[in-house]
């Protein structure tokens, strides 16, 4: 591959990279770092990263642009993609057409009291497991289980008896992305 701009007609290629980036998973950040390093070694590129946390991505990877894709509609994201010469899907998936919440009851075993589960062992269908087994969702269910456990201890109730709205309120206070804020009150 040509490595100097004169060999490629002086064109800077506009490359977008999408994945689960923005500091939540160091494995995904390592994938992004490798992609960026290889691209910069081979071509003159202007890199746009579709990120959960654009500030983290800009600081960590020193790319030209980071797009806050989680805060955008599909109609807002499309022009960002259309101006690119190349889009790379690099690690994890960040474009989710149908985001979803995980009900608190998925973290509470049916026939066991005083127990919460998180991560890959929560209750769900085989199909659902294929999406909630990823690290970012495991981290979110861990956070929710921790909040529920703290509320359980504070209120002197079993996790099953903790009002879900109380758990949601605390998760929102901590900055969690709750897609049904009307339930929070």
Q: For the whole model, what pTM was predicted?
A: 0.52
What pLDDT was estimated at residue 74? 79
Decide if pLDDT at 181 tops 60.
no
> In whole angstroms, how far apart are CA 9 and each of 32, 40, 44?
27, 16, 11
For residues 113 and 179, state if they share a domain: yes
For 159, which DSSP code? G
pLDDT in tens, 122-159: 777 766 666 666 666 778 888 888 899 899 889 989 99
For residues 19 and 79, state if they share a domain: yes
- CATH number for 76: 3.40.50
For residues 140 and 177, state if they share a domain: yes
Decide if pLDDT at 8 tops 70.
no
For residue 97, being part of any structural domain is answered with no
What pLDDT was estimated at residue 61? 94
For residues 27 and 65, state if they share a domain: yes
Average pLDDT over residues 58-66: 94
For residues 82 and 152, state if they share a domain: no
Which of the four pLDDT bands, split at 50, 70 and 90, describes residue 167? very high
For residue 12, what are the domain limits?
Answer: 5-91
Q: How many domains does the chain have?
A: 2
């Amino acid at each position: 591959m040509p490595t100097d701009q004169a060999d490629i007609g002086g064109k800077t290629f506009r490359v977008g990279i999408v994945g689960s980036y923005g500091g939540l998973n160091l494995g995904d950040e390592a994938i992004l770092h490798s992609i960026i390093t290889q691209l910069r070694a081979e071509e003159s590129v202007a890199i746009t990263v579709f990120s959960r946390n654009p500030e983290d991505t800009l600081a960590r990877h020193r790319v030209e642009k980071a797009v806050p894709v989680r805060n955008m509609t599909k109609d807002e994201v499309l022009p960002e993609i259309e101006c690119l010469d190349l889009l790379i899907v690099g690690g994890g998936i960040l474009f989710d057409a149908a985001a979803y919440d995980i009900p608190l009851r998925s973290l509470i075993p049916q026939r066991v009291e005083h127990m919460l589960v998180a991560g890959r062992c929560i209750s769900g269908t085989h199909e659902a497991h294929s999406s909630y087994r990823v690290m970012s969702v495991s981290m979110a269910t861990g956070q929710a289980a921790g909040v529920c456990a703290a509320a359980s201890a504070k209120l002197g109730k079993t996790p099953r008896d903790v009002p879900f709205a109380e758990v949601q309120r605390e998760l929102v206070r901590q900055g969690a992305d709750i897609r049904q804020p009307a339930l929070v009150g």
